[in-house]
């Protein structure tokens, strides 16, 4: 665990495992701690860095730049850990960071994973109609109803509370977040960058409806889409086995193998075992 000084603030990160680098960029409701369901699994085969965006967790945003500095901060982090290339995994707000960064520094990205996010992407008229409706419908919702699926909140009340408690350590909220993405791109421009790309979507996501994710992914050349039917906006937190295995299989498909045999969480499937007589 370490802190690096950046222009106008500081960035906190944790560093686990060895192998090809995977960087985890959290969303508005999270910080580095929210990835605890991914780090243990991924670090069996990969080097995993989870960091706090400035103004979140243990990072600081002294200059108040917010989103405007996120791609610059990520570059500083990759330089600090000595990574020429890395796999970027961005959820929601973190997806915008990774998309912006990929457009600015495509040579530093081995693969891009965009989870529950269309941030930093130009919306077509059709997608904007879907997103405007979603923004209006979720504007006044309590935070947990925005970021966690209905099934998960019912089935896992203790973990839902933990999610809220992790969020409480953030100085920045959606009402106070400042700045703008340093680079906005069309889906076609992202697809032309050349790195492998996968989108991950929750079937119960109210912030980024799966319909909008499908329409966007269809315009990104050679990209892939993974859908988690029984998950909301935070599939990585709600359905971690499925999320982790989807991520690991994507990396294997991209020939980004870890230093050890595949670290899949549940190769036999995700349903309960049944016995036949």
Predicted confidence (pLDDT) at residue 272 exceeds the cutoff of 80: no
Query: Nearest 5 degrees, angle CA 76-CA 78-CA 80?
Result: 65
Which tops the pLDDT comparison, 277 or 207? 207
What was the pLDDT predicted at 267? 45
Q: Is there a domain that residue 42 lies in?
A: yes
Residues of the chain with pLDDT > 70, as a percent, come to: 94
Mean pLDDT of the chain: 93
**197, 190 Cβ separation under 8 angstroms:** yes
Alpha helix (H) residue ranges in the chain: 36-42, 70-81, 93-104, 125-138, 143-147, 150-155, 157-167, 187-191, 210-217, 235-238, 240-253
**99, 90 Cβ separation under 8 angstroms:** yes
What was the pLDDT predicted at 257? 86
**45, 99 Cβ separation under 8 angstroms:** no
What is the domain count for the chain? 1
- CA pseudo-torsion sign 204, 245, 24, 169: positive
Q: Is there a domain that residue 117 lies in?
A: yes
What was the pLDDT predicted at 260? 64
What was the pLDDT predicted at 263? 57
Query: Nearest 5 degrees, angle CA 232-CA 235-CA 241?
Result: 140
**6, 60 Cβ separation under 8 angstroms:** no
What was the pLDDT predicted at 169? 96
Give the residue-averaged pLDDT of 258-271. Answer: 55
For residue 44, give the CATH number of its domain. Answer: 3.40.50.1820
Give the residue-averaged pLDDT of 186-207. Answer: 97
pLDDT in tens, 127-141: 999 999 999 999 999
What was the pLDDT predicted at 262? 56
Q: Is there a domain that residue 29 lies in?
A: yes
Residue 114, domain extent? 2-253
Pairwise CA distance, residues 47 & 249, whole Å: 16
Q: Is there a domain that residue 276 lies in?
A: no
Pairwise CA distance, residues 102 & 187, whole Å: 12
Q: Is there a domain that residue 267 lies in?
A: no
pLDDT in tens, 122-172: 999 999 999 999 999 999 999 999 999 999 999 999 999 999 999 999 999
Q: Is there a domain that residue 248 lies in?
A: yes
Q: Is there a domain that residue 261 lies in?
A: no
Give the residue-averaged pLDDT of 249-274. Answer: 66
Burial of 277 (C-beta count, 10 Å sphere; 0-12/13-18/19+): exposed
Q: Is there a domain that residue 277 lies in?
A: no
Which tops the pLDDT comparison, 268 or 42? 42
pLDDT in tens, 2-16: 999 999 999 999 999
What was the pLDDT predicted at 271? 45
């Amino acid at each position: 665990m370490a802190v690096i000084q950046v222009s106008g603030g500081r960035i906190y990160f944790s560093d686990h495992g060895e192998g090809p680098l995977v960087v985890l960029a959290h969303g508005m409701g999270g910080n580095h701690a929210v990835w605890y369901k991914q780090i243990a699994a991924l670090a069996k085969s990969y080097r995993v860095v989870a960091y706090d965006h400035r103004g979140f967790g243990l990072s600081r945003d002294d200059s108040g730049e917010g989103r405007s500095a996120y791609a610059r901060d990520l570059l500083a982090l990759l330089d600090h850990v000595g990574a020429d290339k890395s796999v970027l995994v961005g959820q929601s707000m973190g997806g915008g960071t990774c998309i912006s960064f990929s457009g600015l520094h495509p040579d530093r990205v081995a693969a891009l994973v965009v989870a529950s996010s269309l941030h930093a992407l130009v919306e077509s008229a059709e997608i904007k109609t879907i997103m405007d409706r979603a923004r209006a419908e979720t504007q006044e919702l309590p935070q947990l109803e925005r970021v966690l699926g209905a099934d998960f909140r019912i089935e896992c009340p203790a973990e839902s509370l933990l999610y809220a408690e992790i969020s409480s350590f953030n100085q920045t909220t959606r009402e106070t977040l400042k700045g703008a993405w340093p680079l906005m791109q069309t889906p076609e421009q992202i697809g032309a960058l050349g790195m492998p790309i996968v989108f991950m979507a929750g079937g119960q996501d109210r912030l980024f409806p799966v319909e909008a994710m499908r329409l966007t992914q269809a315009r990104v050349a050679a990209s892939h889409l993974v859908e988690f039917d029984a998950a909301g906006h935070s599939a990585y937190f709600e359905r971690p086995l499925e999320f982790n295995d989807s991520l690991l299989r994507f990396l294997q498909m991209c020939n980004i193998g870890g230093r050890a045999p595949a670290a899949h969480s549940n190769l036999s499937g995700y349903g309960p075992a049944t016995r036949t007589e």
